[in-house]
Structure 1
Amino acid sequence: MSQFRFARLGLIVAALGLNLAPSVVGLSSVAYAADAKGETLRPEVGKLLQSATELMKAQKYKEALAKVHEADALSGKNAFETYTTDRMRGALAIAVGDTDTAARSFEASIASGRVADADQIRFAQALAGAYYRAKDYPKSIVWLNRYFKAGGNDPQMRPLLVQAYYLGGDYGRASKEVMADIQAEEKAGRTPNEDTLLMLADCENRQKNQAGYVAAVEKLATYHPKKEYWNDLLSRTLTKPGFSERLNLDVYRLKLAAGQLKSENEFSEMAQLALQAGFPAEAKKVVDLAFQTKIFGTGPEAARQKRLQALADKSAADDLKTMAQGEADAVKSKDGTGLINLGYAYVTTGQFDKGVALMEQGIVKGGLKRPEDAKLHIGIAYHFAGQKAKAFQTFHTVQGTDGSADLARYWLMLVNHPIN
């Protein structure tokens, strides 16, 4: 789950490269430049720096840097000459890839007190990009933070900071920064970028934070619903700490609805669980689908699968004959469990209205041993009956720590964001 792309970021970093070198100098004619205090460059200094400027414009950065070194070697420089030399050396050092020299030069320029706030931002931006290209991520982070602290607001710099934390191995901080970006997007009503969410998932995985990883995959399945994300999410559900085996059939129901029920074992297990739970019509549908899609009937288990189909067919037919009597018994029962189960059985036969009505009676009657399961099942029934608003409302009410609330949340995700 770490295939997020760095291509666009590479373009951003490139933009912080050589094209910034001339701009951070900010002197169009150094030979006649003067500062606010009236200090000027002596002719011997100005001539060398002017020559460096011309070479810089021609992108002959090494030659230009050599001229700056000549100027720096002159004795008796005044403060303005030292400042101008430092500033030019910093820009050219970036251009030739000597990032540490650039950093020292810009630090000296800033310490002179002559650098405007806007230029300090540009210095920090240039150095952050240079260190990033050099894969010195800790130093890149230092200058990125200085950039933002100084008031830099280029939106391209934010992902650079996050990537620097990630590539530098600080997955905890990267995760924190990525989450802040995701929450900002959500608050603004925008869809978080898929690569950003993949990075969050990868950061949590590298920290062995299972809960954080699953939460990230949930967001991927919500905002970028793809089969691979749903497969990852649902595969982990059955093994989640505290998840009750009682809900295994409900996981398979969700897998089936999400198109994630694929193997012979999964189809077979779901059908058997449905039979054991008293929903033979559901078992029959699962087995029939397995045969229709050639998952059943062709391999070494074909004979056993045929027997399972015959059992499901007979059980479903027998169940239809006794449903009327079952309804009378459920109505007389002291609690609503029988009505809930019978109602869901009707839903599995395609009799949605009748099934939902019975389940609603069961909810009203109360006395349920597992009320959260009942709400989950009637939410599913509402969904299949086309009563979307009621399904949403019901799923939102499901609570519990045994997995029922997770499943209800996943149904909401699936209904709201169908898989691509």
Structure 2
Amino acid sequence: MSKLRFAPIFVLLAAVGLTTALPMAGFAPLAHAADASAKAETVRPEIGTPLQAAQALLKEEKFKEALAKIAETDAVADKTPYEIYAIDRLRGAAAARAGDTDLAGKSFEAVIASGRLEPAEKAKIVQALGSLYYDAEKYPKAIEWLSRSLKENGNDPQTRTLLIQSYYLSNDIPRATSELQKDIAADESAGRTPTEITLKLLVSCALKSNDKQAYLSSLEKLNSYYPKKEYWLDLLSRIQAKPGFSDHLTLDLYRLKAATAQLQTSAEFTDVAQLALLAGFPAEAKKTLDQGFQSGVLGSGPDAAKQKRLRDQASKGMADDQRTLAQTEASVNASKEGTGQLNLGYALVTAGQFDKGLALMENGVKKGGLKRPEDAKLHLGIAYQLAGQKDKAIQAFKSVQGTDGVADLARLWVMQANHPIN
């Protein structure tokens, strides 16, 4: 998980006026002073002169030289509390721009502790200090000040994101996970979509803690809200790698991949076609091969002739099925168990005969006597989805049970139905 980047610290400093001029004796008092007595305070020339010179150097982006000018005030004795505040205020800004986080943090903490800031300005500086420590990878300090910012100033999404990632980057994965889950639950309860950053960080937490089940569930949630091909590829590979996943579901896994991440290689196209032919679905094999040829993945190279023969075999199978359709339909309808109706119905659905095919599949499921009834419900759901009947498809998928991977595939099909890739 890459580190988040937000507004640079100097932008935050400028927003709260930490690089603006400070008053010397005889000049107008500081605009942000907290009370009337503070407004009457000024700095002596031996303090104000080097500070004004430092401000000029800051404008020229000569940050180290500005720090050197500010350091000249260290020799001045008997500084007033206001002079100390003025020095810390400008030194913090210069140190932050110079990349000296320790000095900047120490200075800003002193500015906050001075009690001279109005609430709105204090809130911004507390937030800026947390961001400063975060950018410097000083995560314990970042957690301290970002937490304070949220406690004192209310929930700010950017601040909270930085806080959670500070937990993550400091390797407090349980706390990061817990806070992320709270945010996601709050968003979902309020009808909001969790941010992709939040969901990706939850996935990273699971990966970092080597919790495979948590990784899978968080990746599914991420893909539900922000479906992408790379998320689908990861999900499908992990489902297939789960202990107990049955090899007989390989074609079904490919079907889901074709509907989401899409088939990519010539081997994938030909594997699907061969599995479909073996299962008795030549129309599905022909459609898959046609897509491969149309995309340019098939039809060239040393295997072009073999690929063409495979497509010819699928075409012949389709023709044979059509020629014997009436006889086959009568046979499966007369059977006491529903496997024949189920398979013939699916073959017709893949050939585009949705109404007739779905009717046969529904009858086959009702008739029963199936070797793999959960697979049958999965295939019925896929058929509904191919026919554009989303609600019936989801209902069928949600009825699927089992521990061999079929229920996992059905759950992912629900995700595909509800959250297709645009």
Structure-1 residue corresponding to 2:210: 208
Judge which range, 282-291 or 103-112, deviates more. 103-112
Q: Aligned equivalents of 1:11 and 1:36: distance in 2?
A: 31
C-alpha contact (below 8 Å) 2:339/2:364 kept by paired residues: yes
Judge which range, 250-259 or 119-128, deviates more. 119-128
Q: Aligned equivalents of 1:177 and 1:20: distance in 2?
A: 29
C-alpha contact (below 8 Å) 2:233/2:261 kept by paired residues: no
C-alpha contact (below 8 Å) 1:17/1:129 kept by paired residues: no
Q: Aligned equivalents of 2:91 and 2:292: distance in 1?
A: 72
For 2:258, which of 251, 256, 259 is the aligned residue?
Answer: 256
Change (3 A) 1:185 1:394: same
TM-aligned CA deviation for residue 249 of structure 1: 0.8
C-alpha contact (below 8 Å) 1:347/1:355 kept by paired residues: yes
Q: What SS class does the counterpart of residue 399 from structure 1 fall into?
A: coil
Q: Aligned equivalents of 2:105 and 2:18: distance in 1?
A: 16
TM-aligned CA deviation for residue 177 of structure 1: 4.1
Change (3 A) 1:247 1:30: farther
1:9-408 alignment runs, 5 A limit: 9-11=5-7, 13-20=9-16, 22=18, 48=46, 54=52, 58=56, 60=58, 93-94=95-96, 97-105=99-107, 107=109, 121-170=123-172, 173-258=175-260, 260-408=262-410
Q: Deviations over 1:126-184 (max 9, x none)?
A: 32122233332332222212222223444332232234344445555445444544444
In structure 1, what residue type is equivalent to 2:260? A
Judge which range, 257-266 or 190-199, deviates more. 190-199
Change (3 A) 1:26 1:320: same
Judge which range, 86-95 or 380-389, deviates more. 86-95
Q: Deviations over 1:69-102 (max 9, x none)?
A: 6766666677777677666765665465443344
In structure 2, what residue type is equivalent to 1:22? L
Q: Aligned equivalents of 1:94 and 1:302: distance in 2?
A: 64
Structure 1 runs not aligned, ≥5 long: none
TM-aligned CA deviation for residue 29 of structure 1: 7.3
C-alpha contact (below 8 Å) 2:13/2:125 kept by paired residues: no
Q: Aligned equivalents of 1:40 and 1:280: distance in 2?
A: 87
TM-aligned CA deviation for residue 250 of structure 1: 0.8
Q: Aligned equivalents of 2:154 and 2:371: distance in 1?
A: 59
In structure 2, what residue type is equivalent to 1:267? F
The size of the alignment, in residue pairs, is 414
Q: Aligned equivalents of 1:378 and 1:40: distance in 2?
A: 78
Sequence identity (%) = 52
1:411 aligns with 2:422: no
Judge which range, 135-144 or 96-105, deviates more. 96-105
Q: Aligned equivalents of 1:398 and 1:14: distance in 2?
A: 56
TM-aligned CA deviation for residue 243 of structure 1: 1.9
TM-aligned CA deviation for residue 248 of structure 1: 0.8
In structure 2, what residue type is equivalent to 1:315? G
C-alpha contact (below 8 Å) 2:105/2:133 kept by paired residues: no
In structure 1, what residue type is equivalent to 2:279? A
C-alpha contact (below 8 Å) 1:35/1:80 kept by paired residues: no
Q: Deviations over 1:256-287 (max 9, x none)?
A: 22361122221222122112222233223323
C-alpha contact (below 8 Å) 2:95/2:101 kept by paired residues: yes
Structure 2 runs not aligned, ≥5 long: none
TM-aligned CA deviation for residue 298 of structure 1: 2.6
TM-aligned CA deviation for residue 218 of structure 1: 3.1
In structure 2, what residue type is equivalent to 1:417? H
Q: Aligned equivalents of 1:286 and 1:334: distance in 2?
A: 33
Q: Aligned equivalents of 1:291 and 1:122: distance in 2?
A: 60
C-alpha contact (below 8 Å) 1:335/1:367 kept by paired residues: yes
Change (3 A) 1:88 1:48: farther
Judge which range, 54-63 or 395-404, deviates more. 54-63
Judge which range, 355-364 or 365-374, deviates more. 365-374
C-alpha contact (below 8 Å) 1:221/1:230 kept by paired residues: yes
Change (3 A) 1:333 1:76: same
C-alpha contact (below 8 Å) 2:337/2:364 kept by paired residues: yes
Q: Aligned equivalents of 2:184 and 2:125: distance in 1?
A: 29
Judge which range, 176-185 or 402-411, deviates more. 176-185
C-alpha contact (below 8 Å) 1:267/1:290 kept by paired residues: yes
Q: Aligned equivalents of 1:12 and 1:212: distance in 2?
A: 34
Q: Aligned equivalents of 2:167 and 2:67: distance in 1?
A: 32
